[in-house]
Chain A
Amino acid sequence: MQTTPISVDGQQKWASLPLSTARTPVRSLYVHIPFCFHKCHYCDFYSFVDSRDRQGVFVDRLIEEFSALARHAGGGAAADAGEADAAPALDTIFVGGGTPSLLRPDLWARLLGALRERFDLSTIDAGRGEFTVECNPETVTAELMATLAAGGVDRVSVGAQSFDQRHLVTLERHHDPENVARALALANDAGIRRRSLDLIYAIPGQTLKEWASDLDRALEADDGLEHMSCYALTYEPNTPMTKRMRRGDFEPADEGLESDMYEHTVRRLREAGFERYEVSNFAKKREAMGNGQWAMGGESSDVTTHGPLPTAHRLPVSLHNLVYWRCGQWLAAGPSASGHIVTEGGGHRWKNVPHLTEWMQGVAASGGYSPIIDHEPPDARRALAERLMMGVRIAEGLCEREMQERAEPLGAAEALQRAAAGQAELGRLSLADARWRLTDAGWLFADGVASELMAALAPGESTGRVAGDSSVRG
């Protein structure tokens, strides 16, 4: 089945994965741009400040990787051999980082041109797909926005994080909050209609009131804003932020305060017409949009679903992220980008090597194939665990029948149903309409729900007890 060699020098390349086994053609692409002009203290993405200017070579390599991806992505045996001829179609593209907006406009123009030459972007051009670029407010210029728009980009996600200079300093994030509105306006002027803002809350020292004011300012920054992502500050291992916290420089936000902030977020955004469709992601209802034509279909989902789809699909959700959250398929380009293809009985997950030089060398040496790490071959149990863990976090939830059908061959159907019932009893999960969805109270416990559901899949758990029960009496 594997037609491409692992690689010349023994490193596994993504091209060694049998892409032809994908159940349907892969129609999404993630591109990672690793450059930043300063490293934020909370950040654990693969990104760094490039003291030597390697943007040009980087784009050259990226284009080589696009070529290789296009040759393999079409599906069928020809794909494995890297001989697919027709340009494969992409429905969603997401360029993240790092700071993609740091890439110079001329390089952007080349990158976008190359993408268009190698892939069929007609769905995106027709407004039925999605092409997002992450922007840092500081680096947005009219020229850059015009270049992006001309290349087909129809959505920007602007990393505001906070409007309070004090809290930006805590995060060691360098930008002027005033530039957020300006960046959004420039995007709008260039004709990029779909705009999203990222905010961070539960920053040490931040009060509920300050967070509320951040949210208000975000809403004021742009009338046409259709999407918001609000993340609680997460202490990732090995980040300076985490080290500072361990050292006792500051106390992390109290659990109660963080919960209050979250609940306020949901309330405030609902007032402003935004609906929560994922734990931390909110989209503005169509009716509430001034010009709203964003009727998002569920067509690009490659997840088997039964029964009616929930309302999330009429929202300007991030289609690309929804692919992740529904355990769909996507290709990966650039250092540290991860990819996923769905096969019978599971799927392949992999990650391009998170190292610029290694990635560039690997791509150059093999004609576009990045070395990969963390390859996980198909495994039905793992795939279902992932489906549970991601699916529970989205408003549409999980289809009960799909879960049963997938758990049955693992001998875990009963245990899983019992685990779901247990979570329902705790008031965290609703089992109504044959879908498993977090209740209003359940959103704050999504991880707990996910881990209990996932644990039901463990071999030997099939006769297990309901979590939370204990047989020892004190």
Chain B
Amino acid sequence: MQIRNFSIIAHIDHGKSTLADRLLQSTHAVTDREAREQLLDDMDLERERGITIKASAVTVRHVHNGEEFMLNFIDTPGHVDFSYEVSRALTACEGAVLVVDSTQGVEAQTVANAYLAVENNLELIPVVNKIDLPAANPDDVAMEIEQILGLPAEDCIYASAKTGQGIDKLLAAICEKLPPPRDSIISETRALVFDTEYNDYRGVVVYVRVFDGRLNIGDRIRMMGVGRTYVVTELGKYTPKPTKVQTLGAGETGYLIAAIKALADVRVGDTITLDIEPASEPLPGYEEPKQMVFCDFYPSSSAAGSGGKGADFEQLREAVEKLNLNDASFTFQTVHSEALGFGFRCGFLGLLHMDIVQERLEREGGVEIVQTAPTVNYQILMTTGEIREITNPADLPDPNYYEEIREPIVKMEIIVPKECIGDVMSLCGARRGVYKSQQYISETRQMLIYELPLAEIIYDFHDKLKSMTRGYGTMDYELSGYHKDRLVKVDILINGAPVEALSIIVHRDSAEQRGRALLVRLRKEIDRHQFEIALQAAIGGKVIARETIKSMRKNVTAKCYGGDVTRKRKLLEKQKEGKKRMKSVGNVEIPQEAFMAVLDQGD
């Protein structure tokens, strides 16, 4: 039997999930109806037992030209933050189906994903999807694919995941054009972990692609990166119902269960080998997932610490540790800030990831969090020649002790309508972008390639791009290295006391403007108090901007609520509650929003 391992890659909403469902459905057509009903029943049962059906890898059988094929379809996460995971999934494949919406054309994520696939030596099958729509422009889109990705337009398969048109052709192409998996090149077993999942009933489920040798039930396996060993208790494939197998051979994809307790104990990208006869080298390409943005989480009650680690902090610690068992891709360490008490500095794959983690901590852990503005990490070249990495502007050493500050730079691809190019270029310019090149996509659209400091884009760049292109602009980026620049730390003082969580590292030339913009935002976000509050921005002790928040003049609704007491009471109760998501610095209450003010670019 022939094996094909492949993924579907696409820009968001171009139809990846719909196409995947449609493919599975078409292959089921070979089994008879009863079997199908049986399958569905089984799945309901599984669902009742709380077992996840949505698998990261699905195996189906398909007959093409009289020959039987085992198709392993490997799912990829849909967001740029998780490009590391996408690339792991792609390493498990020999080919990929690249889906492009025929009403939208090639987008930045299409390009980025296609590049990733090419880097991993995958064969690509371009699919122009949604041809059932009246606005479809398949020929033009096929031309775009040729222009920008170099895949011949005539190779594109025109399809509709909705109506099923073109799906047979796609299945044929998968069987004919995608290469079979390579044979074992060494005798020792090597399997790549391309995804993991935590299931309340079964514990950790590890998705693997076997490259060399073979895995059997009962094998004692060793995780080459982490160094731990486990005994395999179950092997199987999702077809899509979980089907146990005795063994997984070279070229095959499936899941593995061993007594692994926490997700943190396995790493996506790690190589599994056998403990008795280990391979000497892991499969190439394992990298630690890279945290790109960092922020602090503090418990939000204003009574934060009385100097010590209060009960709120302990509750937050529990929540963070618990969540980390399920999501090992965020990092955390205890921080203590003079102003804010005890909390955690956490690292995330991207902003979306940060939001997800915060939300889960609050929802699942029942803690309310005050979050500081996300920052990037900096490499500091010390005068001693040592390179120190900091993830918090507050940790920047005194200027006497370092030579230079290096910041992360990304390579960014932006696809925009032609008439927006001027605006987008000035946006990139304002964000210290370095123009690299421009590529023609079609009559109406171009791709811009820029190098930009990550710090300049993490927050609102995407929103700005979307709004200046009326939603048509798309972007994608990857880390390309660290560059030095003339960066300085701007400190914020509230009534004379520095608040580290509000410090920012910015370019010297925009320091005044950013400092001023930040103070203006803070003035708006911090409520008036009974006393005047002085806000200052300073570089190394020299004040570059100041603002004052006048003392509160009034707090009274001068309106007669007459008989409708209920509403008024609720308002007043809220007034008091509204104060909860705050941090007190000295006797100034700083709301959550103020910490985010740091991100205001002032443009």
Interface residues of A (CB under 8 A from B): 30, 96, 229-232, 234, 255-256, 258-259, 262, 278-281, 321, 324, 327, 330, 332, 337-340, 349, 351, 374, 376, 382, 385-386, 389-390, 426, 443-448, 450-452, 454-455, 465, 468-474
Contacts and interface: CB of A to CB of B under 8 A. Distances in A.
Nearest to B550: A256
A471 B304 CA distance: 7
Nearest to A258: B554
Contacts of A472: 302-306, 339-341, 583-585
13 contacts: A232-B559, A259-B554, A327-B565, A332-B563, A349-B565, A386-B569, A389-B565, A444-B556, A470-B584, A470-B587, A472-B303, A472-B305, A473-B586
Given A330-B563, A339-B563, A376-B566, A451 B572 contact: yes
A445 B338 CA distance: 31
A474 B563 contact: no
A119 B302 CA distance: 55
B530 interface: yes
Nearest to B497: A474
A445 B554 contact: yes
A447 B575 contact: yes
B313 to A, nearest CB: 12
B65 interface: no
Contacts of A382: 569
Contact of A474 (B554, B556, B566, B585): B585
B587 A468 contact: yes
B376 to A, nearest CB: 26
B576 interface: yes
B563 A324 contact: yes
Interface residue range, chain B: 35 or more
Given A385-B569, A472-B304, A96 B562 contact: yes
Contacts of B554: 255, 258-259, 262, 444-445
Given A471-B303, A471-B304, A474-B499, A448 B584 contact: no
Interface in B280-310: 302-307
Given A255-B553, A337-B563, A474 B494 contact: yes
Contacts of B306: 471-472
B596 to A, nearest CB: 19
A390 to B, nearest CB: 7
Contact of A321 (B562, B575, B587): B562
* Secondary structure class of chain B's binding surface, majority of residues: loop
A359 to B, nearest CB: 16
A278 B560 CA distance: 9
B572 A230 contact: no
B573 interface: yes
B557 interface: yes
A32 B487 CA distance: 66
B568 interface: yes
Most buried by B among A351, A389, A452, A472: A472
A451 B304 contact: no
B317 interface: no
Most buried by B among A330, A390, A470: A470
Most buried by B among A280, A376, A471: A471
* Secondary structure class of chain A's binding surface, majority of residues: mixed
B1 interface: no
A231 B559 contact: yes
B564 interface: yes
Contact of B568 (A337, A389, A426): A389
A98 to B, nearest CB: 13
A474 B338 contact: yes
A447 B555 CA distance: 6
B135 interface: no
B356 interface: no
A43 to B, nearest CB: 12
Contact of A447 (B341, B550, B556, B566): B556
A321 to B, nearest CB: 7
Interface string B566-603: 10110011011000000111111100000000000000
A445 B576 contact: no
Contacts of B550: 256
Interface in B301-353: 302-307, 338-341
Contacts of A376: 566
B558 A230 contact: yes
B4 interface: no
Nearest to A232: B558
Contacts of A256: 550, 553
B584 A447 contact: no
A443 B556 CA distance: 8
Contacts of A262: 554, 558
A440 to B, nearest CB: 13
B574 to A, nearest CB: 9
A281 B556 CA distance: 14
A123 B302 CA distance: 54
A110 to B, nearest CB: 24
A448 B555 contact: yes
Given A445-B556, A474-B585, A450 B572 contact: yes
B514 interface: no
A234 B568 contact: no
A337 B565 CA distance: 12
A30 B562 CA distance: 10
B353 to A, nearest CB: 29
Contacts of B16: none
B312 to A, nearest CB: 12
Nearest to B588: A474
A463 to B, nearest CB: 12
Most buried by B among A229, A281, A327, A447: A447
A255 B555 CA distance: 9
Nearest to A452: B576
A451 B576 contact: yes
Contacts of B585: 472, 474
Contacts of A452: 576
A280 B305 CA distance: 41
Closest 8 CB pairs of A and B: A470-B584, A474-B585, A259-B553, A232-B558, A474-B586, A448-B555, A444-B554, A338-B563
Nearest to B578: A451
A230 B556 CA distance: 13
B521 interface: no
Contacts of A339: 563
Most buried by B among A96, A324, A374, A382: A324
B528 interface: yes
A416 B307 CA distance: 27
Contacts of B566: 338, 349, 351, 374, 376
A229 B560 CA distance: 9
Contacts of B304: 471-472
Contacts of A351: 564, 566
Contacts of B338: 473-474
Given A255-B552, A451-B575, A468-B587, 4 more contacts: A96-B562, A454-B576, A472-B303, A474-B338
